[in-house]
Chain A
Amino acid sequence: MMRTTLTVFFKEVLDNFRDRRTLASALLMGPIFGPVLFAFVINLSVERSLEDQESTLELPIIGQEFAPNLVAFLRSKNIDAVDGPEDLAAAMEAVKSGVHDIVLIIPEEFGEQLADTIPAKVELVSDQANTDADRDARRARSALLSYNQLLAGTRVIARGINPRALQPLNIDEVDVSTPSGRSALLLGMMSYFFVFAALMGGMYLAIDTTAGERERGSLEPLLSLPVTRDQLILGKIAATCLFMALSLTLSLLAFYVSLGFMPLEKLGMTPNFGPGVVLAALAIFLPFILVGAALMTLVASFTKSYREAQTWLSVVLIAPTMPILIVSILTLRPRLEFMFIPSLSQHLLLVDMVKNEPVNALHVTISVVSTLILGILLTWVCARLYRREGLLG
């Protein structure tokens, strides 16, 4: 039993190591795709966040001449006044049509009202549905509030009152997020790439050993040999698992290496992704490999040709990433019942590790055991289906 399965295993491994297409997708495409995309996204967001703080905001102001002090104050906050539209109506039109993101309007009576200690009216025109403009609007608003506070302070001092009287509360926000914790959101994406890399690694092999074997006519001679079909399919699934594990390992290493080159500290992130976590992640993802290999072999064995198998398997490639996506969007916390869902449980455990949070041993156990059970079950179904006559097509 063992010998036949091993024979099939070694033959499939050798066969596929010689196939450039399999090698390229398993050992290059899958592992490299993630880190490259990742480095791109990280660098982009670093650039953007740095840009925000340093760049000068050009704020169209109507009636600059009525508030020279305010304009000077804004300049000190790195906000330059530029000429705005004619009037309120024109400003609204300009913001609506996207010519300007925000427009500040200072009425003629601004100075007069200030002098009379009447709350002086200024208007900030913005489109709150426009999220791009939101950042600029917030910056302008906060600058105006600072100016407001500055004036208030001056006024109370002039009346001999300590400006602190105006600040009954001292709100001190304590942010408990750690640099590793902040990494988790972005680095949660990593598990998607690990799942993807693992599946990519075995995809061509899963097709080749089923639909491919049938298409090139080598299945029938193989089935006429004095071995059981169970032995054959187990060897094939084992070979698929090996390629998936290789691809996953390479993917983990590629991330490990490339994270060193990403300017994550500029985003205030220090992911906990050292050699220990890489190994632990490999261990946690290994049971998922069996699920993936059996699932892909199962699907591929139903298809009539290599091409059809490819089409179906690209759907399978997406399926395990769906739970990860849903949980990420809903920002759900790890829960016991999530640990029964393959790919999701691995993702959540990885996020915990990257956040440098204690990993729940029960969660790990449930994840490993339930994923393994599903893998064995799928392998069994695969073997059952491999026995059917229709296999020959």
Chain B
Amino acid sequence: MIRVEGIKKSFGKVRAVRGVSFDAPDGKITGLLGPNGAGKSTTLRVLYTVLKPDEGRATIDGADVVTDALAARGRIGALPHGAGLYPHLTARENIAYFARLCGLDKAEIDDRVEQIVRLLEIGDFAERRTKGFSQGQRTKVSLARALVHDPQNVILDEPSNGLDVMATRSLRELILKLKDDGRCVLFSSHVMQEVAALCDDICIVANGKVAIDDSIDGIREQTGCDDIEDAFVKAIHMVEPE
């Protein structure tokens, strides 16, 4: 369960996030939707604690991301935007490294890595060094790395970026499986169709503020648009620029 309450974040004069609030409950998929530069990544970065909000608060399963950051991080599996791997380590070593850092012991690590390698169908290239991996392979390994410690909350920043059809499909299946396991999944995207196909709740952000936070039907209703793309565009224009 992720709870965001009125967070604001500026970088110098740029006000990246101007007050974002939403809940991402367990057993549901929550989509953070918005155009480029809307403040999605900044919001997610606050949630996985690499940035501190200027104002407002956020909690992961009740753990405050500022005052109890370590506990909050322990409840999260995060896939940052453009996450990179260690090129001289094999896919398996990359995953095992994160498992060790998450405090798993030796036997657990072998088990979990094996499980996640099978789940994400990494087996074919698990023993290869990640240098020269395709974008799809890299994303899979990064995801495996983020999920290896079996986190309750999963935060994915534009996970489908650069993936081909097949890879996008298996990503979608994985996200649905995480939901069925009762996890809280929060992911960001700028593709309306993708979000509409997956999410139970959609939080549309624009210019650092929440435009609409509702289910897909609720958004259609509020904007009066049947076409999801039209609804998205209309919602964005509901937030006045700075």
Q: Is A68 an interface residue when CB atoms closer than 8 A count as contact?
A: no
- Near A by CB (< 8 A), chain B positions 163-185 give none
Are B101 and A223 neighbours in the complex by a CB distance under 8 Å?
A: no
Which residues of the partner chain A approach B211 to less than 8 Å between Cβ atoms? none
Give a binary string over A1-22; 1 marks a CB under 8 Å from any B CB, 0 the rest: 0011001100100111011000
The smallest C-beta distance from B159 to any residue of chain A, in angstroms, reads 13
How big is chain A's contact interface, by range?
A: 20 to 34
| Chain B count of residues within 8 A CB distance of the other chain | 33
Are B98 and A389 neighbours in the complex by a CB distance under 8 Å?
A: no
What residue of chain B has the Cβ atom nearest to residue A391's Cβ? B50
**The residue from B51, B52, B83, B89 contacting A217, defined by CB atoms under 8 A apart:** B83
Using A225-B98, A225-B102 as known contacts, say yes or no to A218 and B76 having CB atoms under 8 A apart. Answer: no
Are B101 and A216 neighbours in the complex by a CB distance under 8 Å?
A: no
Given contacts A218-B84, A220-B83, A221-B142, 7 further A-B pairs with CB under 8 A are: A19-B88, A217-B82, A218-B86, A221-B79, A224-B76, A228-B70, A392-B51
- Near A by CB (< 8 A), chain B positions 83-128 give 83-89, 93, 97-98, 100-103
**The residue from A8, A218, A227, A389 contacting B83, defined by CB atoms under 8 A apart:** A218
Q: Is A226 an interface residue when CB atoms closer than 8 A count as contact?
A: yes
Using A14-B89, A226-B70 as known contacts, say yes or no to A217 and B80 having CB atoms under 8 A apart. Answer: yes
Using A15-B89, A220-B50, A221-B142 as known contacts, say yes or no to A226 and B97 having CB atoms under 8 A apart. Answer: no
Q: Is B146 an interface residue when CB atoms closer than 8 A count as contact?
A: yes
Chain B contacts to A: CB under 8 angstroms: 45, 48-52, 70-71, 73-74, 76, 78-80, 82-89, 93, 97-98, 100-103, 129, 142, 145-146
**The residue from A14, A218, A225 contacting B101, defined by CB atoms under 8 A apart:** A225
- Near B by CB (< 8 A), chain A positions 153-178 give none
CA distance A218 to B49 in the complex (A): 15
Using A18-B88, A221-B145 as known contacts, say yes or no to A389 and B73 having CB atoms under 8 A apart. Answer: no
Are A226 and B74 neighbours in the complex by a CB distance under 8 Å?
A: yes
Using A218-B83, A218-B84, A389-B51 as known contacts, say yes or no to A224 and B101 having CB atoms under 8 A apart. Answer: no
Which residues of the partner chain B approach A218 to less than 8 Å between Cβ atoms? 83-86
CA distance A7 to B87 in the complex (A): 18
What residue of chain B has the Cβ atom nearest to residue A14's Cβ? B89
- Near B by CB (< 8 A), chain A positions 222-238 give 222-228
CA distance A7 to B73 in the complex (A): 18
CA distance A8 to B80 in the complex (A): 20
Are A221 and B70 neighbours in the complex by a CB distance under 8 Å?
A: no
Are B51 and A220 neighbours in the complex by a CB distance under 8 Å?
A: no
CA distance A119 to B109 in the complex (A): 99
Q: List 16 A-B contacts (CB under 8 A).
A: A3-B103, A4-B103, A7-B100, A8-B101, A11-B97, A14-B88, A14-B89, A15-B86, A18-B89, A216-B85, A216-B86, A221-B78, A221-B79, A224-B49, A226-B101, A392-B45
CA distance A389 to B49 in the complex (A): 10
Which residues of the partner chain B approach A220 to less than 8 Å between Cβ atoms? 45, 50, 80, 83
**The residue from A3, A216, A217, A223 contacting B50, defined by CB atoms under 8 A apart:** A223
Using A7-B97, A221-B145 as known contacts, say yes or no to A216 and B84 having CB atoms under 8 A apart. Answer: yes
CA distance A138 to B49 in the complex (A): 76
Residue in B71, B74, B86 whose Cβ sees the most chain A Cβ within 10 Å: B86
The smallest C-beta distance from B23 to any residue of chain A, in angstroms, reads 21
Residue in A4, A8, A15, A226 whose Cβ sees the most chain B Cβ within 10 Å: A226
The smallest C-beta distance from B127 to any residue of chain A, in angstroms, reads 14
Are B101 and A4 neighbours in the complex by a CB distance under 8 Å?
A: yes
Which residues of the partner chain B approach A8 to less than 8 Å between Cβ atoms? 101
CA distance A16 to B79 in the complex (A): 25
Which residues of the partner chain B approach A224 to less than 8 Å between Cβ atoms? 48-50, 73, 76, 78, 80
CA distance A7 to B98 in the complex (A): 9
CA distance A15 to B85 in the complex (A): 12
The smallest C-beta distance from A1 to any residue of chain B, in angstroms, reads 11
What are the 3 A-B residue pairs with the smallest beta carbon separation, nearest first?
A217-B84, A226-B74, A216-B84
**The residue from A3, A16, A225, A389 contacting B52, defined by CB atoms under 8 A apart:** A389
Residue in A8, A11, A14, A221 whose Cβ sees the most chain B Cβ within 10 Å: A221
CA distance A389 to B79 in the complex (A): 18
Are A225 and B80 neighbours in the complex by a CB distance under 8 Å?
A: no
Which residues of the partner chain B approach A227 to less than 8 Å between Cβ atoms? 70, 73, 101
Give a binary string over A366-393; 1 marks a CB under 8 Å from any B CB, 0 the rest: 0000000000000000000000010010
Residue in B48, B71, B97 whose Cβ sees the most chain A Cβ within 10 Å: B97
Which residues of the partner chain A approach B85 to less than 8 Å between Cβ atoms? 216, 218
What residue of chain A has the Cβ atom nearest to residue B71's Cβ? A226
What residue of chain B has the Cβ atom nearest to residue A227's Cβ? B101
Which residues of the partner chain B approach A221 to less than 8 Å between Cβ atoms? 78-80, 83-84, 98, 142, 145-146
The smallest C-beta distance from A306 to any residue of chain B, in angstroms, reads 13
The smallest C-beta distance from B184 to any residue of chain A, in angstroms, reads 16
CA distance A115 to B102 in the complex (A): 103
CA distance A229 to B239 in the complex (A): 37
The smallest C-beta distance from B238 to any residue of chain A, in angstroms, reads 31
The smallest C-beta distance from B50 to any residue of chain A, in angstroms, reads 5
The smallest C-beta distance from B80 to any residue of chain A, in angstroms, reads 4
Which residues of the partner chain A approach B79 to less than 8 Å between Cβ atoms? 221
